[in-house]
Amino acid sequence: MTSPPPSAVKRGDAVRGKLLRAAVELIGERGWTAVSTRTVAERAQVTSGLVHYHFASLQALLREAAVDTMRATLGAMRPVLTDASDPVAGLHALFAGLDQHTDDVVWLAVTESYLAATRDPELRSALAALIVEFREEVANQLDDCGHRHPAETAVVLAALIDGLLLHRIFDPRLSADTTRPAVDRLLDSRGRGTACE
């Protein structure tokens, strides 16, 4: 017996998913402003009309793709932090994981999204909410270690993640190993060792 064909809703969801994935790839490969309705449709292997059927505008598609990508990226970092033996080990594992993302199209799309957010208040607001939530989680990890300034340090660590990814574009020698001493000093709230010793 053959299974019934997918419903119109499932087909529509599949097309939306293809368009969002295509948008992320193109943002990372070509840059935000180089993405057009036609290039997204071609990459997703659908007609251009479906872009406007599923999204109010190209900008709405790009915005949703960027926010979904940021949410997924930060979501992937959470288990690295929470499943570690202690918060500092989790942060070191998080920084070590950055070594594999220098040319990753998703990370490039995130970087492009930051720049686009400077001109798009709606995108800026959505990304800011996700970043603040992530910083709060890092601050909670540091607070569990008794760090004297968990919120302020979490802001710096989150910015450091972004900054290292940007700087690795120009200097691929930057790695978790080369930056670990500086990260240790940030995590050390007492001037010696690490915060969770």
Domain 8-187 has CATH 1.10.357.10: yes
Higher confidence at residue 36 or residue 84?
36
At 138-153, the pLDDT tens digits run 898 888 878 888 899 8
pLDDT for 5 equals 65
Q: CA 89, CA 84: separation in Å to the nearest integer?
A: 6
The string over 93-132, giving b where at least 16 C-beta atoms fall within 10 Å of a residue's C-beta and e elsewhere, is bbbeebeebbeeebbbbbbbbbebbeebeebeebbeeebe
Q: CA 111, CA 10: separation in Å to the nearest integer?
A: 31
Dihedral, CA of residue 66, residue 112, residue 32 and residue 63, to nearest 10 = 20
- Using a cut of 0.95, tell me whether the model's pTM lies above it: no
Instruction: Give me the sign of the Cα torsion angle 103, 71, 155, 28.
Output: positive
Locate the domains of the chain by residue range.
8-187
Residue 33 is classified by DSSP as G
pLDDT for 166 equals 85
pLDDT for 178 equals 84
Counts of helices then strands in the chain (DSSP H, E): 9, 0
